[in-house]
């Protein structure tokens, strides 16, 4: 009988020559991806961490048992109810955005499992699909039962099945990244850029915020997921190595595109949690500091390792680190009824902290918060006054990322209009416009929310839009956690200089 070191290489490298069909019929370019190369070019594909199916099942079983044990020990409702109210809303954001996004990762991984160009790649993708299925189930298991206590947790299941504006943006992102993607672009966009680059935000940064917030169940959940991500993320590197020999310009494009698209999504998911929905005394760092330490340094080192350049938009990206998620949060606060979780106004102490962490543009953001606070002072606190401190005009959205036109700075918004083939499009930023123009056939027919309203597809009247199209109710739509009843707001004008 062969020992592990002898049989594993035989089992994971099981390729053969086709005699009844051509190789390009088995692996059509449209679904295997570009560049199409004969298998001889892929045969040295090698993952750095190798596992067998039996080892995989044993490991996953142990990890699942650990998650169950944590849930039974500290995941009871009384434990959750002890968490700070703003942090609970960070949980609601992730409970909605995470599970079904991970499920689209199952589909993308299965595409790699069938159309990846080497058998070892296909084996790793099979494990990856099983991982992503686990990542769908765990947050649903932990979060959705909380709906009995708080109906906003229903969005753990509901989110992607609605036309809520953030769901439209998230679907646009994940459908392209995973569900509708060929095996090569999935390996680059998901395994290399998102899982190697950005999931550190979730699984290192967020885990540390959860620990600081005494949310050990969430901490354990993301840590458990991270151990899977670290394994299947390694699919990206060997795919990239082969592609670099044949079409480095295309590699550069895919990396630049997916870094930007991932940045847009994670700046909201993680940025809001880090800088607003975690209590000030529990914030170990700012979102920008975390990006610089855990994302940027590592990503630039990896680019350098492969002989790739920084994205052309790097200066724009670095500038956005100072402002983009702040503009999104303030915009979302003043349109909180369009979302399924609650918000807080940063207190004078938090604004002082934000000024220290983000000195470049904070004056502009502080003026916005002062105006919002002034509105609460005028109308007075209380649930009945929520909509008096809320926007009523229709917000606008980017035709590429589908997120609000909040890029640039409050002094100079960078939204730009494009007329193409008789139609008008608007983009929040130069990189979103650039991505659109590289693949207009992919994006041109997608209607953003404004165009859905203008065409009559979505209601124009805001209350109807919220209830009929976003599928919110007065109970579930977002509010101020304290309905404007902040001690600091009642006493005097905030002094945060």
Partner 1 sequence: MYMSIPLYGFLEGDTLGLLMLAEEGETVLQLARKLQDAANIRVPHSDNVDFLYDGKAIDPGLTVVQAGLQALDRFDVIRRHTL
Q: Decide if 280 contacts 353 (C-beta within 8 A).
A: yes
Nearer to partner 1, 96 or 372 (CB): 372
Please tell me whether residue 394 binds partner 1 under the rule CB under 8 A.
Answer: yes
Please tell me the distance from the alpha carbon of residue 274 to that of residue 353, in angstroms, as a whole number: 12
Question: What are the angstrom distances between the C-alpha of 68 and each of 64, 76, 276?
Answer: 6, 12, 30
Please tell me whether residue 163 binds partner 1 under the rule CB under 8 A.
Answer: no
Nearer to partner 1, 219 or 399 (CB): 399
Please tell me whether residue 391 binds partner 1 under the rule CB under 8 A.
Answer: yes
Question: Whose CA is closest to 483, among 351, 343, 338, 339?
Answer: 343
Site for partner 1 in 291-330 (CB under 8 A): 326-328, 330
Lookup result for tokens 């945060």: 496
Please tell me whether residue 416 binds partner 1 under the rule CB under 8 A.
Answer: yes
Q: How far is the CB of 417 from partner 1 (least distance, A)?
A: 5
Site for partner 1 in 424-443 (CB under 8 A): 424, 426
Applying CB under 8 A, which part among 36-44, 200-208, 366-374, 483-491 lies near partner 1?
A: 366-374
Q: How far is the CB of 349 from partner 1 (least distance, A)?
A: 21
Site for partner 1 in 324-343 (CB under 8 A): 326-328, 330-331, 334
Nearer to partner 1, 184 or 323 (CB): 323
Nearer to partner 1, 51 or 413 (CB): 413
Name the 3-class secondary structure at 457: coil
Please tell me the distance from the alpha carbon of residue 187 to that of residue 107, in angstroms, as a whole number: 12
Ranges of beta strands (E only) in 4-107 are: none
Question: Whose CA is closest to 36, among 20, 22, 21, 15?
Answer: 22
Please tell me the distance from the alpha carbon of residue 163 to that of residue 78, in angstroms, as a whole number: 33
Please tell me whether residue 415 binds partner 1 under the rule CB under 8 A.
Answer: yes
Mention every residue, 6+ apart, whose C-beta is less than 8 A from residue 6.
Answer: none
Phi, psi for 441 (deg, rounded to 5) = -65, -25
Q: Decide if 262 contacts 194 (C-beta within 8 A).
A: yes
Nearer to partner 1, 84 or 415 (CB): 415
Question: Whose CA is closest to 354, among 323, 375, 389?
Answer: 323
Q: How far is the CB of 401 from partner 1 (least distance, A)?
A: 13
What Rg, from alpha-carbon coordinates, does the chain have? 23
Please tell me whether residue 393 binds partner 1 under the rule CB under 8 A.
Answer: yes
Q: How far is the CB of 328 from partner 1 (least distance, A)?
A: 8
Please tell me whether residue 204 binds partner 1 under the rule CB under 8 A.
Answer: no
Applying CB under 8 A, which part among 274-282, 340-348, 351-359, 363-371 lies near partner 1?
A: 363-371
Q: In the 8-state DSSP scheme, what is residue 82?
A: T
Applying CB under 8 A, which part among 118-126, 181-189, 365-373, 476-484 lies near partner 1?
A: 365-373
Which residues contribute to the site for partner 1 (CB under 8 A)?
Answer: 326-328, 330-331, 334, 364-365, 367-368, 371-372, 375, 389-396, 404-406, 410-413, 415-417, 424, 426, 450, 453-454
């Amino acid at each position: 009988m062969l020992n592990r070191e002898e049989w594993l290489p035989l089992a994971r490298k099981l390729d053969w020559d086709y005699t009844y069909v051509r190789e390009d019929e088995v692996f059509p370019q449209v679904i295997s991806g570009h560049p199409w190369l004969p298998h001889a070019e892929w045969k040295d594909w090698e993952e750095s961490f190798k596992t067998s199916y039996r080892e995989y099942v044993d490991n996953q079983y142990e990890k699942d048992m650990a998650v169950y044990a944590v849930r039974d020990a500290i995941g009871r409702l009384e434990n959750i109810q002890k968490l700070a109210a703003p942090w609970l809303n960070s949980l609601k954001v992730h409970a909605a955005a995470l599970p079904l996004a991970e499920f689209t990762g199952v589909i993308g991984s299965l595409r790699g499992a069938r159309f990846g160009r080497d058998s070892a790649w296909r084996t790793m993708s099979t494990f990856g699909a099983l991982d992503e299925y686990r990542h769908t189930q765990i947050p649903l298991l932990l979060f959705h039962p909380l709906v009995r206590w708080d109906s906003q947790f229903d969005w753990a299941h509901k989110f992607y099945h609605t036309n809520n504006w953030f769901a439209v943006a998230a679907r646009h992102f994940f459908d392209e990244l995973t569900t509708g993607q060929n095996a090569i672009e999935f390996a680059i966009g998901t395994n290399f850029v998102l899982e190697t680059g950005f999931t550190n935000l979730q699984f290192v940064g967020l885990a540390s915020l959860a620990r600081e917030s005494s949310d050990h169940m969430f901490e354990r959940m993301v840590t458990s997921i991270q151990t899977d991500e670290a394994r299947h993320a390694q699919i990206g590197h060997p795919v990239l190595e082969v592609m670099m020999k044949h079409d480095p310009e295309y590699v550069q494009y895919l990396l630049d595109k997916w870094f930007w698209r991932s940045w847009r999504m994670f700046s909201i998911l993680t940025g809001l949690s880090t800088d607003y929905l975690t209590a000030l005394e529990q914030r170990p760092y700012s979102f920008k500091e975390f990006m610089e330490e855990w994302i940027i340094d590592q990503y630039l080192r990896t680019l350098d390792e492969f002989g790739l350049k920084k994205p052309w938009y790097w200066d724009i990206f670095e500038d956005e680190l100072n402002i983009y998620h702040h503009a999104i949060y303030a915009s979302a606060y003043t349109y909180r009824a369009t979302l399924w979780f609650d918000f807080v106004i940063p207190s004078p102490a938090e604004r002082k902290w934000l000024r220290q962490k983000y000195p470049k543009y904070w004056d502009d953001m502080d003026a916005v918060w002062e105006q919002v606070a002034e509105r609460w002072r005028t109308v007075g606190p209380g649930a009945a006054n929520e909509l008096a401190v809320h926007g009523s005009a229709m917000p606008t959205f980017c035709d590429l990322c589908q997120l609000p036109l909040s890029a640039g700075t409050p002094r100079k918004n960078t939204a730009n209009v494009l007329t193409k083939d008789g139609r008008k499009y608007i983009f929040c930023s130069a990189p979103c416009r650039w991505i659109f123009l590289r693949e207009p056939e992919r994006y041109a027919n997608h209607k953003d929310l404004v165009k859905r309203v203008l065409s009559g597809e979505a209601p124009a009247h805001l209350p109807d839009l919220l209830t009929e199209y976003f599928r919110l109710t007065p109970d579930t739509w977002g509010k101020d956690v304290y309905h404007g009843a902040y001690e600091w707001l009642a006493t005097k004008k905030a002094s945060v200089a």
